[in-house]
């Protein structure tokens, strides 16, 4: 696969989500039970497809955000467990549909559900999980949390369509790209974080703080994901390096390299992204150009920018173990580029 970038510049040593995992461990046990139970059905194909993806070793970062954010404001009850499970189901449904839309073969290092059970099952089981997510939210009974999460569901789909419409368009500006990832990725991080203070009955200011933390964390997370697609190895990534390139996705490293490139380089990008001349040799060349123009380093710099906004969003909140854990998550997300 050729050139592998040294991305050490993005790493803060030892950043982990250990503190978050420890704080939410007991609650996550209940989330995991609820996931299994609510993905169940007498129709065998449903738990088979759902569990294939659910058990594939995702970090379950989003539900942990909901749990920690609810704990942070002293929430007592089991509503946060149900909302966290809803958030994870919304995410899983999106992944099932994404893999159909992107025609992906691999996800987290395993065959995608659509490769095993077909596109049809992936579409329909995604719909089922989305329905189950809404049922759990309704069960919690907070209209405010329902509003936030149902709005996120619309915005995520809108972001995916924006991405589809912008596919292969190298003239996409950085701002337009931020609008896409804000909708398709950051909206769910934001909703996941905000519903914590919402069910805990926290103040408007506290809700706004967690919402701002979530959206900026989500932006940072997605930018690092996009950087990883041109570095790292398939094993770490759980996807193949160059997947985005081969699918003609216009992510930030490409946007920067294209805008900074010579006329000749832009011609190469046109062929690669718009006309799918994206074999391994082209990928090597793309990685070389991205390196030459510092496009990975600057993608990471943009991610850091959003990470700092996320950190400051939590600034006024009292020092709690949850606050410390949520700040560590920012460093962890950015240090995934290693």
Residues that bind a copy of itself (CB under 8 A): 41, 43-46, 97, 100-101, 119-121, 123-125, 127-128, 130-132, 134-135, 137-139, 141, 143, 146-147, 150-151, 153-158, 160-162, 164-165
SS3 letters across 275-313: CCCCCHHHHHHHHHHHHHCCHHHHHHHHHHHHHHHHHHH
CA angle at residue 297 from 294 to 300, to 5 degrees?
145
Environment class of 222 (CB within 10 Å of its CB; exposed 0-12, middle 13-18, buried 19+): buried
- The least CB distance from residue 6 to a copy of itself, in Å, is 35
- The least CB distance from residue 230 to a copy of itself, in Å, is 24
Contacts of 283 (CB under 8 A, 6+ apart): 1, 2, 241, 242, 245, 246
- The least CB distance from residue 35 to a copy of itself, in Å, is 15
Distance separating alpha carbons of residues 188 and 183, to the nearest angstrom? 8
Is the CB of 176 or the CB of 298 nearer to a copy of itself? 176
Distance separating alpha carbons of residues 190 and 337, to the nearest angstrom? 22
Is the CB of 19 or the CB of 91 nearer to a copy of itself? 91
- The least CB distance from residue 283 to a copy of itself, in Å, is 23
Give residue 99's region: left, alpha or beta (phi > 0; psi -120 to 50): alpha
Is the CB of 52 or the CB of 302 nearer to a copy of itself? 52
Is the CB of 120 or the CB of 277 nearer to a copy of itself? 120
- The least CB distance from residue 126 to a copy of itself, in Å, is 8
Is the CB of 31 or the CB of 46 nearer to a copy of itself? 46
């Amino acid at each position: 696969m050729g050139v592998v970038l040294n991305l050490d510049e993005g790493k803060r040593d030892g950043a982990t989500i250990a503190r978050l995992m420890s704080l939410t461990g007991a609650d996550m046990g209940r989330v995991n039970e609820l996931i299994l139970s609510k993905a169940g059905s007498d129709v065998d194909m449903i738990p088979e497809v759902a569990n294939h993806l659910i058990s594939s070793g995702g970090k379950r970062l989003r539900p942990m955000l909901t749990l920690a954010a609810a704990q942070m404001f002293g929430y007592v009850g089991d509503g946060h467990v149900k909302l966290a499970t809803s958030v994870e189901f919304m995410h899983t449904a999106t992944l099932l549909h994404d893999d159909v839309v992107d025609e992906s073969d691999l996800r987290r290092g395993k065959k995608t559900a659509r490769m095993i059970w077909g596109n049809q099952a992936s579409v329909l089981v995604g719909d089922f999980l989305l329905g189950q997510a809404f049922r759990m939210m309704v069960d919690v009974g907070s209209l405010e949390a329902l509003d936030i999460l149902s709005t996120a569901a619309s915005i995520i789909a809108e972001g995916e369509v924006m991405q589809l419409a912008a596919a292969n368009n190298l003239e996409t500006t950085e701002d337009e790209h931020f609008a896409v990832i804000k909708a398709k990725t950051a909206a769910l991080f934001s909703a996941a974080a905000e519903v914590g203070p919402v069910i805990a009955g926290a103040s408007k200011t506290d809700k706004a703080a967690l919402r701002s933390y979530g959206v900026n964390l989500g932006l940072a997370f997605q930018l690092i994901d996009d950087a990883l697609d041109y570095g790292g190895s398939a094993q770490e990534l759980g996807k193949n390096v160059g997947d985005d390139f081969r699918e003609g996705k216009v992510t930030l490293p490409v946007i920067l390299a294209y805008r900074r490139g010579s006329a000749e380089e832009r011609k190469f990008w046109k062929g690669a992204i718009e006309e799918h001349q994206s074999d391994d040799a082209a990928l090597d060349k793309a990685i070389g150009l991205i390196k030459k123009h510092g496009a990975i380093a600057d993608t990471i710099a943009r991610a850091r920018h959003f990470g700092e906004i996320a950190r400051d969003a939590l600034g006024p909140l009292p020092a709690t173990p949850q606050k410390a854990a949520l700040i560590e998550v920012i460093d962890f997300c950015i240090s995934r580029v290693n």
